[in-house]
């Protein structure tokens, strides 16, 4: 009997989960965290992505987030984001779990998604805890304030903080109940996201990794595809993808 292809497995699956990390946005020109040019090579997370750093110097922290917002505002989803959005449209029970805060999955059309580490495009009032969408680029002043007069912070998860309980519960439930899990562009080093593929595998999911290079997950995955997500995913998903080459310039 022939081993089913990834596409066959997806077609036969009841539930599909996709887990993504910074690598999925790399081809859009968004820096990753740990690569040779990664953000954590040039910046200390302790100075920019912790509650203590924000308490010490909210302006400095906001300057860094403002820089990232400005950069990402000029970037567009790439074929990897599009392939994942297409996959969602073809699968009844689907969840995209992303560690990315850049919003590019939403821009590509993904709707059934959990943003485990929050979003750069939302802010949270420190006094009231209210979360609001904020797409203003540039922000009129730094640091920004809520109408109530309190400081607002980016609605992202910083080091030393717990993930939103609803988001992590949803992610665990999906990992435990999926038949296929596709893991794209993550170094699989940061918990609890890194545990999700193992949870999926332990519950019987077929785990497929797409990454430029091997990661700690590679040894456990059922299939590994080493290459650029924007090239590998459209190949893997082939006929499930919506045609996009129909438009052409006059």
Q: 53-82 mask for ligand OAD (x: CB under 6 A)? A: ------------------------------
Which of 43, 81, 105, 117 is catalytic? The answer is: 117
In the region spanning residues 105 to 134, those forming contacts with ligand OAD, defined by CB under 6 A, are 117
Is residue 117 flagged as an active site residue?
A: yes
Select from 211, 225, 236, 237 the one that contacts ligand OAD (CB under 6 A). Answer: 211
**Which C-beta is closer to ligand OAD: that of 33 or that of 94?**
33
Instruction: Please tell me whether residue 21 binds ligand OAD under the rule CB under 6 A.
Output: yes
Cβ 143 vs Cβ 58: under 8 Å: yes
| In the complex, least distance from residue 9 CB atom to ligand OAD, rounded to whole angstroms | 20
Instruction: Please tell me whether residue 26 binds ligand OAD under the rule CB under 6 A.
Output: yes
Select from 212, 218, 223, 240 the one that contacts ligand OAD (CB under 6 A). Answer: 212
Select from 139, 190, 198, 240 the one that contacts ligand OAD (CB under 6 A). Answer: 190
**Which C-beta is closer to ligand OAD: that of 11 or that of 228?**
228
The residues binding ligand OAD (CB under 6 A) are 21-23, 26-27, 32-35, 38, 49, 99, 117, 157, 185-187, 189-190, 210-213, 215, 228-229
Q: Which residues does the annotation mark as catalytic?
A: 117
């Amino acid at each position: 009997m022939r081993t089913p292809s990834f596409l066959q497995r997806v077609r036969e699956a009841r539930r599909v989960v996709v887990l993504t990390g910074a690598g999925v946005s790399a081809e859009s020109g968004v820096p990753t965290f740990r690569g040779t040019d990664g953000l954590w090579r040039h910046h200390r997370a302790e100075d920019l992505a912790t509650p203590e750093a924000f308490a010490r110097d909210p302006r400095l922290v906001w300057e860094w987030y403002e820089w990232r917002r400005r950069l990402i505002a000029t970037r567009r989803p790439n074929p990897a984001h599009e392939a994942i959005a297409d996959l969602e449209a073809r699968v009844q029970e689907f969840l995209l779990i992303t560690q990315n805060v850049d919003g590019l999955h939403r821009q590509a059309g993904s709707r059934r998604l959990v943003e485990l580490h929050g979003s750069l495009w939302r802010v949270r009032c420190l006094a009231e805890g209210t979360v609001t969408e904020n797409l203003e680029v540039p922000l009129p002043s730094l640091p920004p304030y809520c109408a109530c007069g309190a400081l607002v912070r980016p609605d992202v998860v910083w080091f030393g903080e717990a993930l939103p309980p609803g988001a992590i519960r949803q992610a665990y439930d999906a990992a435990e109940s999926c038949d296929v899990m596709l893991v794209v562009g993550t170094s699989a080093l940061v918990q609890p996201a890194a545990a999700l593929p193992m949870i999926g595998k332990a519950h019987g999911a077929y785990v497929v990794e797409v990454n430029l290079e091997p990661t700690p997950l590679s040894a456990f995955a059922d299939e590994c595809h080493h290459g650029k997500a924007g090239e590998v995913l459209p190949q893997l998903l082939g006929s499930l993808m919506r045609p996009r080459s129909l438009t052409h310039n006059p």
